[in-house]
Structure 1
Amino acid sequence: MNIYSWNVNGIRSALKKGFEEWFASTAPDILCLQEVRAEENQVPDTLRNPEGYFTYWNACKRKKGYSGVAVYTRIEPDMVNYGFDIDEFDEEGRVLQLVFPDWVLNSIYFPNGGSGDDRLDYKLRFYDAFLENSLRWLANGKHVLTVGDYNTCHKEIDIARPKENENISGFLPIERAWMDKYVENGFVDTFRNLHPDTREAYTWWSNRFGARARNVGWRLDYAFVDEALMPNVLNSEIHSSVQGSDHCPISIELEPPFAPIPIKPASVDAEI
């Protein structure tokens, strides 16, 4: 099962840069898009209802043309959630959560904390709400796979110029500390697990100063799984040659079936 994830930085812009051709040639089992910045009725019918896919969109309710996520899946989910049932987060259209019999897929466009202290606080509270939600699913015996733009580089290896950016949102100590906490709670960065020493592997580049051509980038996009699901991960890749956005796609290949995970008491209320 191949799952792709891509922050397209505006689906209408990506459509002008070959997105539909890329989608058709890649033919993933599941495609998760972030920062679509559009509503479903603003894209061609061929993208609203592509043959062979169930399609789900979650647009920002607070401001048109901002944020937004979409998922295309060949496998019909049992249920779809459009957030964490927390209004201040859900109204920005950042989450699509597909619930399958023994696993949960999150496609998430995590907030950027770079526009002031209020947004950094918002980002960190969003992170905590997401982690709590993930732990609840684990406590209920479902594997959790999360793909998307986390908007944080975890380690120095994940950013081209760590020293120059240590005071910039996306690489702040407090953001990286949350990533540490996330990993400590049993979630695995699949790319780094399979490619522990790979350097210059980035997923976002500034549009300024020819950053992409010089590969001066940040690894902001991830595929994380719970520890018990990691044995089913066959590969986790970054597709840096794919153009059309300031981000590039990432992918993860999973091999079902997924073994049941031990149900153990969680540190949060385990009721979904």
Structure 2
Amino acid sequence: MNESQADVVCVQEIKAHLADLGPEHLQPGEYTGYFQAAEKKGYSGVGIYSKTKLLNVTYGLNNHEFDAEGRMITAEFENMIVSSIYFPSGSSSEDRQLAKFRFLEHFATVFEEVEAKTKPVVLCGDWNIAHQEIDLKNWKGNLKNSGFLPEERAWIGDVMNKRGWVDAYRVLYPEETDGCYTWWSNRGQAYAKNVGWRIDYQMVSPTLREHIREVSVYKAKKFSDHAPLIADYDYPL
């Protein structure tokens, strides 16, 4: 974080309660952390680190089922709003896939709320959906798997095509495939062979499209099964 000098850092799947976090987690360097933990220990949870003082923090997405899982936290700055979001995975069971569909359905109300804001918004995090065939290595073998189901792909397509949200990475790299992946399974040699998925996004308000200067997947160091997605905007925070 100190090397990148990012103004805002969004984290997902922190798997910790506030009581589990020490000073090095709560206030590392110049940053102050804000967290929405899951009720269940060692599960889910999201956070936002910021160098700049926030005007307001909103915890959750006004849905008891998913607020109990620590799925969203939103920071309001003077000129911009940033949310850290962790969409459910449906890969473990049919019940979890149904929960994921409920989450997607409820998220329509989240869009309505943030679209009513006068400030531009960045929705940053693990969306657990690969949108296009170029967003994962083995797309043919995953057509019936969670994360690449037709319903999920159609939903995220509607986010952009009907609601007008902008996939920051694809604005600059519309055709990139092998270099776009942000997640690799821990099974086998997925990371070594670059058998990955692009499931982490920064979805931004249309007004930010012209302010996207660079977006990159950071792989110089490996922190987890995900790689950080770093974006630069020439827009005041």
TM-score bracket, normalised by the shorter chain, equals over 0.9
- Whether contact under 8 Å (1:35, 1:109) holds in the other structure is yes
Instruction: Please report how far the alpha carbon of residue 133 of structure 1 lies from its aligned counterpart in structure 2 after TM superposition.
Output: 1.6
2:187 aligned partner: 208
Q: Is 2:97 aligned against 1:120?
A: yes
Structure 1 segment 58-69 matched on structure 2, within 5 A: 58-61=36-39, 63-69=40-46
Q: 1:196 to 1:170 in 2, by over 3 A?
A: same
Which TM-score applies when normalising by structure 2?
0.93
Instruction: Please report how far the alpha carbon of residue 55 of structure 1 lies from its aligned counterpart in structure 2 after TM superposition.
Output: 1.4
- The 1-side partners of 2:29 and 2:220 are apart by 26
- Whether contact under 8 Å (1:241, 1:248) holds in the other structure is no
Q: Is 2:201 aligned against 1:222?
A: yes
* Uncovered stretches (5+) of structure 1, i.e. residues with no partner: 1-22, 259-272
- The 2-side partners of 1:202 and 1:100 are apart by 30
- The 2-side partners of 1:71 and 1:203 are apart by 19
AA aligned opposite 1:235: E
Q: Is 2:170 aligned against 1:192?
A: yes
Pick from 18, 21, 36: which aligns with 1:43? 21
- The 2-side partners of 1:46 and 1:241 are apart by 22
> Once the two structures are superposed, what CA deviation does each residue of 1:120-142 show, in whole Å capped at 9, x if it has no partner?
22212212333322232222322
Q: 1:24 to 1:141 in 2, by over 3 A?
A: closer
The residue matched to 1:157 in structure 2 has which SS? Answer: helix
- The 1-side partners of 2:137 and 2:22 are apart by 37
Q: Is 2:199 aligned against 1:244?
A: no
Which TM-score applies when normalising by structure 1?
0.82
> Once the two structures are superposed, what CA deviation does each residue of 1:136-194 show, in whole Å capped at 9, x if it has no partner?
22223221111100001000000000000111101111110111111121101110111
Q: Is 2:123 aligned against 1:182?
A: no
Instruction: Please report how far the alpha carbon of residue 50 of structure 1 lies from its aligned counterpart in structure 2 after TM superposition.
Output: 2.0
- Whether contact under 8 Å (1:189, 1:222) holds in the other structure is yes
Q: Is 2:121 aligned against 1:144?
A: yes
AA aligned opposite 1:103: M
- The 2-side partners of 1:25 and 1:100 are apart by 23
> Once the two structures are superposed, what CA deviation does each residue of 1:229-251 show, in whole Å capped at 9, x if it has no partner?
11111111111332020111111
- Whether contact under 8 Å (1:58, 1:93) holds in the other structure is yes
Q: CA RMSD in A?
A: 1.5
1:30 aligned partner: 8
- The 1-side partners of 2:21 and 2:212 are apart by 33
- The 2-side partners of 1:40 and 1:190 are apart by 31
Q: Is 2:56 aligned against 1:79?
A: yes
Larger deviation, residues 127-136 vs 84-93: 127-136
Pick from 151, 163, 172: which aligns with 2:140? 163
**How many aligned positions are there?**
235
- The 1-side partners of 2:56 and 2:107 are apart by 18
AA aligned opposite 1:208: R
Instruction: Please report how far the alpha carbon of residue 83 of structure 1 lies from its aligned counterpart in structure 2 after TM superposition.
Output: 0.9
The residue matched to 1:106 in structure 2 has which SS? Answer: strand
- Whether contact under 8 Å (1:41, 1:48) holds in the other structure is no
Q: Greater relative contact order: 1 or 2 (C-alpha under 8 angstroms, separation 6 or more)?
A: 1
- Whether contact under 8 Å (2:217, 2:230) holds in the other structure is yes
Pick from 82, 88, 93: which aligns with 1:111? 88
* Uncovered stretches (5+) of structure 2, i.e. residues with no partner: none
